[in-house]
Amino acid sequence: MNWSVCFLFIILTIDHCDVVAESMEHESELRRKDELVRIEAEARARAQNERENRDLVLEKIRVKAAERRKTLLESIQ
């Protein structure tokens, strides 16, 4: 194998390594963006769930308060 062929082989190998490294960086960036989208979606779902639960908790408090008032009024009479 002559030197020019060896040199060309080395250059092509280095170029291939650069392409692989760039591809890995790109894949890493895509994964990071996907993770951020997933985290944001989970946060939105959690907030929605908390709002819905808040309404349920408030309704339970209202029902219990109404029952206490009714019981208190019945005990007074």
pLDDT digits (tens, 9 = 90+) for 25-57: 889 999 999 999 999 999 999 999 998 899 899
Phi-psi region at 10: left, alpha or beta (left = phi > 0; alpha = psi -120 to 50)? alpha
The tokens for 32 are 């990071």
The model scores a pTM over 0.85? no
Cα–Cα distance measured from residue 21 to residue 27, given in angstroms and rounded to the nearest whole number: 10
